[in-house]
Structure 1
């Protein structure tokens, strides 16, 4: 059964070709936009790669970059097809090319939709990546003399100031690590000795945070140390007073930032997906309506165009069948080869 059959007089075919030409160039610009959005997201992820544990989240920007580049080529050829569609003598040269073109275009269009879905579904992967990455960043904060970690302190400090956050989950994460380097500790001091001896691992732990956790909008001078000791500061109550450091954890801040960016990009790419789908559907109507004109002297006759020559199920099966036969043939060849190899020693 033919799907979405429509009548196309000559003037309607001309308008379809002209409109599709404009639409294809609009989709080309949208493809460039998709590529740019992928590059922007990729850049933002690479900027904070030191506080991320894995590269799985890069699959979204990588897909957008690939799809954006593919969209440029796909829609450029669509515009060329539209130009030749107005000339019935030149259109037939595209006939053998159109089937693989639709297959490639459909693949990359679906890949675009997959990128949109992934951009909304990456919360869990992003959060787990940041959880481990920020934990390691805080852990290596003091290693300014260690090769490969020299800039870890600068990265974490800038991160906390730019995103107005502190620690991984919250500021208490700094209480669990030694974030002050041994080169800045006076080991002759009784306080330092007592703190190191009181810890099982021999680490210098304090209930304090780096300066980058301080909130500049607080009216009170920043309290970095003895945050949980009410008697250490005048007119200070740890339980009731809002601390003058950032209370939000950096993982939450970064997840909100990246998911907001991905969701915005996802909405934009979904619009591009709809535009790309419109190009493919319109081009299919143009192709099928021009098939009846090819080889005829009178090109101004009324023709019929359709989306699918057969039903959806039949079309899918017709597309999958050659692939299944190809893989079955390859498997049979491999089995015959292995059988002949196993039988060779017996014949000798």
Structure 2
């Protein structure tokens, strides 16, 4: 089996993906700096059960070019999956420098590493946020995405442009994945499902932005990692340079896909699912749309389905139930006590 390097292995998607690929028999190595953007302990717990013969993890910062290149030289990975990034739309308004350091400079070091070992396929995380102020729904990868409305989105758009350049100049097959609101067990504490569940169980108000009129194409993490695992052997190829290409493809070995549930859900319905899973009614604090946020996301995944014969299909209630079960187990919460306190 091929050797696969995953960056961001202590992250939400990265840890789930590493687990799946280890179970499939791949030789998996990881890079994660385990920073303190949120609980380092949660990150360590995500990967502690993975460490073993087919998985090893380097605690290295992608901004450290020397250390990153040393790993590439030593390990010679055939496949690279870059999931490491500074996440969060709202946080990018407060700490813009971190996004340039991590998402731009760090990604450049990954591209250089791939170049040095003649990587067979680089898969990297982009984001649905690149669609910015686009109005046409569902969002299609063939759409123009030149109007980001947050620095986070701008860095992800930059990643797509950087990847294309390396695909063209050095013939590195690259596949960019625009994730749409991933959720599930081991999720990030800064995301809505985690924050809502925590507050609802503790009978605290939840902030509901855009006065509840938000819609998101929530995508369950198992569906995400299944799609990525199928894409590993689907590296793009060079195309006839005389063709006219849409923004998601090129004469170079380059491709962009959406990964979403293809079924946007109202934020109020998402909260209903959490209430159903916990048996507790939420206390809602309605707020205006936040800077950098978009009111609705909706993924067209038709080209992804054609490529890998799979599209996300986990229902919201099923996915939320699994998250709440994990949350209760991980934090040893007493649901009966929470319900009793409600009374």
TM-score after normalising by structure 1: 0.21
* Greater per-residue strand proportion: 2
* Greater per-residue helix proportion: 1
Higher relative contact order at CA 8 Å, sep ≥6: structure 1 or structure 2?
1
